[in-house]
Structure 1
Amino acid sequence: MADWLVEHAEKHLADPTRYANSIAHWLRFFRSERQAGRLTGPPTVSDIKKALVERFISLRQSEGASLYTISRDIAALRQPLNWAWKDERIESAPFVPDVKGKPEGKTLVYTPKQIAALLDAARAEPDREHIALLIIIALSTHGRIEAILELTTDQIQDGLIYFNAPGRAQTKKRRSIVTIAPTLAPWLADLPDGKVIQWKKPKRNRTTGKLEYELLPAGSVKRAFENCLLAAGISAVETDDLGEPVWLPARKKLGESKPRPKLVGLGSPNTLRHTCSTEMHRRGVPEAQIDTAAGHSGDSTNKKHYRHLRPDYLQDFIAGVESFWADVGQFTTAHLRSHSDPKIIPIGAAKASRSKKKS
């Protein structure tokens, strides 16, 4: 569990602290199991059985933990086991049942106004500017976040984004080919070769003393996206396992005299994908085109290999995307290339520029 927390959760999950708390509850539970004689030593994979999980659930319920909290606690056991199995550290992962009676949560999506606030927050700081491009690509393509982070300029050709890189085998999480929407096109027209999503690492010039920035591929956007959420006001007060607010000590250097509530951002980069799907359905985009952009389509091999060559490929989807950006435009201009760069590239020229580069 500790390996999973350090090697996976802290790098990829939006709030690893909550899972660290859950793991602490499991370690406490395992100690009590040993004291009761139900475990003869440190727990092993073979010890993880339904009866053990049910005893843990009973313990947490007796402590007043909510069903949502207990479900997260159980995930803090299930996910490390599945991770270890996929990483070939264990031969198999046992089934870990969830707590019963937990109501289904509502999928979070962002409104156009919230997207505008997120973009403004991203454009406000140089080391967060890459989040703006991530947002614009995600909401213009329905692309998976991991596919966007791995996207290179070589995968942008002839007005299309090929999310599945050449030589990469498709998995069950299929990566699609998506037409470049007019709002997105100028952002992709003159990128430096290599990874599309690159962040600006600040560093001080030893000679001039001025702050400079080094462009580096973004391996993870978890922290930067969280900072954008907080800056945009898309947040809530964090609560502990009993539902009480978590308080942070006053920052005396900033003149604070009282504790302040700890805020956490609402959602994650994956919420952008849910938002895109929701907005496209709301705008009447045909289901088949939404599924195609998302990589969910199950058409024949011929259609998969050649349909992106059709002049009407994803036509309604792109119209829906532009309709969404028009709504965002009621609150900001941060999604327009002219907002940050006076060099305006016409849509046709942008596509030609990228095509020329590949030829």
Structure 2
Amino acid sequence: MPTYSLRQHDNGTFYIHWTEGRRSKRQSTGQTEEVAAQIFLGEWLKGEAADQAGATPIYTVQDLWDDYFKRHAEKNCADTRSFNTCWNNLQPHFGALTLPELTRKGADNVDKIEEYILLREDGEIGRCPATSGTIRGELTRMLACFNWHADPKRKTISKADVPVWEMPPKSPPRDRWLRVDEIRKLMAAAADRSAQSSRMSRVERFLWLALETAARRQAILELTWGRVDFELNLIDYRVPSRAVTKKRRAVVPISTTLRPILLRAYEERQGDLVCDNQSCIWRAVKSVAKQAEVERVSPHVLRHTAATHMLRNGVPIATVAGILADTIETVERTYWHHIPSAGAGAVELLAGKLLALTPTAEPTKCPERNA
């Protein structure tokens, strides 16, 4: 018979702790007062714990996340760093809780989800205050973990056990992209780095690939020379034998501008990876951007820049979607305002055909505005 004990956690709640088969177990009492927790323990022992063999396992968020990360993220995601960053913020607040506790109202009529949102917005969780979009992304990833466990293939928990809460609103769409003069300054600063060495710098190679192929950061860092075909003039960002995820990768033609860059990099190669290794590149990118006095440079901005310039120069949406490995609908939704004369046809139809407007007088100059 296991020995049960009550312990108060950092969140103020008392938990029942015991060991079963060399594995530590715990069950929340949902109480912050010791007397009430003792009463709960007595009832729990008489009821739910009376038949341990037939009892339904009770999982904490930490238990569910650990299993989700090991069995899903590590196997199916090319880069798990975003999972770790997300969990670093979620874990201190949610890790020890069970699913019913997430949406249970406290004395102040605020549940743990609402409390997390407020603390993240104020910067009391995480390194700095977070936007609603960032918080939404973190909570969405935690909800994905619960739904993964509730999937009929696994049935770790039932669908009815998955808590329901209102998500923070999405952040306004980001529309930062680099203009031609900013690109030139950025690449000039990167070239300066290369001039200090006997070979092209890693950061310059990365920037060329990001701006010329619109590929995502991890796809560029994982690119091997074996997938750069100089005969067919193609770069294949797809990794053989890796399962296709939502962030699909494309086969992209090598532009006439990029080709001599890649040929030089190939002659100077020091291994199988085009960018030498997969270690973090963004400190170097930010350093180059600071030297060039170009603000707000990020992975999203480089990819967004490439797509924006393609569309502004008349590249068909379907072609851009293929290079980005996105759907045509996604490209239209994200970049519609960058497509030259996107709505001109509709406006001409409305004014010239449907309303059949004709000028009634010679055009005059615009009247001056009142002071």
User: What's the TM-score once normalised by structure 2's chain length?
Assistant: 0.49
CA positional deviation for 1:137 = 1.3
CA positional deviation for 1:194 = 0.7
CA positional deviation for 1:153 = 0.8
Residue matched to 2:319:
289
CA positional deviation for 1:109 = 1.2
Residue matched to 1:115:
183
Q: Distance in 1 between matches of 2:122 and 2:287?
A: 36
Three-state SS of the structure 1 residue aligned to 2:201 is helix
Q: Distance in 2 between matches of 1:274 and 1:67?
A: 25
Cα distance change, pair 154–275 in 1 and its aligned pair in 2 (3 A): same
RMSD: 4.5
Q: Distance in 2 between matches of 1:62 and 1:166?
A: 44
| 8 Å CA contact 1:19, 1:72 repeated in 2 | no
Structure 1 gap segments, 5+ residues each? 31-40, 199-216, 236-265, 299-359
Residue matched to 1:174:
248
Q: Which structure has the higher relative contact order (CA within 8 Å, separation 6+)?
A: 1
Matched residue pairs, number?
Answer: 229
Q: Which amino acid aligns with 1:104?
A: P
Equivalent of 1:49 in 103, 112, 117: 103
Equivalent of 2:279 in 216, 219, 222: 219
Three-state SS of the structure 2 residue aligned to 1:161 is strand
Residue matched to 2:50:
none
CA positional deviation for 1:154 = 0.7
Cα distance change, pair 118–91 in 1 and its aligned pair in 2 (3 A): farther
Q: Which amino acid aligns with 1:168?
A: R
CA positional deviation for 1:103 = 5.6
| 8 Å CA contact 1:142, 1:273 repeated in 2 | yes
Q: Which amino acid aligns with 2:186?
A: L
Cα distance change, pair 73–166 in 1 and its aligned pair in 2 (3 A): closer
Structure 2 gap segments, 5+ residues each? 1-61, 105-110, 150-154, 329-371
Residue matched to 1:144:
216
Residue matched to 1:134:
206
| 8 Å CA contact 2:123, 2:129 repeated in 1 | no
Q: Distance in 2 between matches of 1:97 and 1:184?
A: 46
Q: Distance in 2 between matches of 1:106 and 1:99?
A: 17
Q: Distance in 1 between matches of 2:291 and 2:285?
A: 10
Residue matched to 1:249:
none
**Superposition pairs for residues 200-349 of structure 1, below 5 Å?**
217-235=277-295, 266-296=296-326
Q: Distance in 1 between matches of 2:190 and 2:206?
A: 10
Q: Distance in 2 between matches of 1:60 and 1:166?
A: 39
Equivalent of 1:194 in 272, 287, 290: 272
Q: Distance in 1 between matches of 2:119 and 2:228?
A: 53
CA positional deviation for 1:124 = 2.9
Q: Distance in 2 between matches of 1:75 and 1:69?
A: 10
Cα distance change, pair 95–115 in 1 and its aligned pair in 2 (3 A): farther
1:155 aligned to 2:227? yes
Three-state SS of the structure 2 residue aligned to 1:189 is helix
Residue matched to 1:250:
none
Superimposed CA distance per residue, residues 265-292 of structure 1 (whole angstroms, 9 cap, x where no aligned partner): x141232111111111111111111111
1:69 aligned to 2:138? no
Residue matched to 1:333:
none
Q: Distance in 2 between matches of 1:170 and 1:114?
A: 34
CA positional deviation for 1:47 = 2.8
| 8 Å CA contact 1:121, 1:228 repeated in 2 | yes
Q: Distance in 2 between matches of 1:283 and 1:194?
A: 34
| 8 Å CA contact 2:191, 2:204 repeated in 1 | yes
